[in-house]
Structure 1
Amino acid sequence: MKSMIIVALALVAVAAAIPVDEPAKIISANYDSKPDGGYNFNFETENGIKRVEEGSVKDVVDEENKPHSVVVVRGSYSYVNSEGQSEVIDFVADENGYRAEGPSVPKVPARR
């Protein structure tokens, strides 16, 4: 019984000694919503992560030719990669799906 208590206390001590990474602090953040459903937002953290995004409402028709509204999202985010370089990814999300471009985003091979 004593050995189980000692083992349990040892495990607690080891767990308490493991360093816990604190989340990066947000140094700026803005959000603006529009009456039509669109929006703008951005934020930046102390460790170099940034994001800028804009959403706008667009009327489209679906496969059955029925009209409806979608939110088209455009933006970018950046971060410092493992080599210490700033990496920027631009993206669009709309009725055609999500598309991203940037140096670390794999390119789709060209059709022949």
Structure 2
Amino acid sequence: MKSMIIVALALVAVAAAIPVDETEIVNQFFDQKPDGSYVSEFETTNGIQRKEEGVLKEALDEENIPHKFVAVSGVISYVNPDGEVETIRYVADENGYRADGPSIPKVPASS
């Protein structure tokens, strides 16, 4: 659970660390429910867009004790250094953190 939060925050930090020159947020929305679930999105003048949803779920730990947590899924798009729009989709849930996009290394298929 802690590692999922750390990875999700790291992804946000990477997106926030993209160099910007006088970038402004042109659209922003955040709605959090009392159970901890949420919807968040924003768009900036330099083409960064992010949409994310957190949903309250329950999973069993190693001792079969149920624990509630917020599973996160989302998509972020930005203009890469080559001037192309790059989109990365990600999920952080009971199965760990997974991201997919053109710049995300792929795991080689086992033979």
TM-score (norm. length: structure 2): 0.79
- Residues 83 and 22 (structure 1 numbering): CA distance in 2 closer, same or farther, change over 3 Å? closer
| 1:96 corresponds to | 95
TM-score (norm. length: structure 1): 0.78
Q: Which has the higher contact order (CA 8 A, sep 6+)?
A: 2
Aligned residues: 92
**RMSD over aligned Cα, in angstroms?**
1.1
After the TM superposition, which parts of structure 1 deviate over 4 Å for at least 4 consecutive aligned residues?
none
Kindly name which structure, 1 or 2, has the bigger radius of gyration based on alpha carbons: 1
Is 1:42 paired with 2:41? yes
* Paired residue type of 2:84: Q
Gaps of 5+ in 2: 1-19
Q: Deviations over 1:38-75 (max 9, x none)?
A: 00000001000010000001011001111110111010
**Alpha-carbon distance in structure 2 between the residues aligned to 1:59 and 1:43:** 28
Gaps of 5+ in 1: 1-20
| 1:14 corresponds to | none
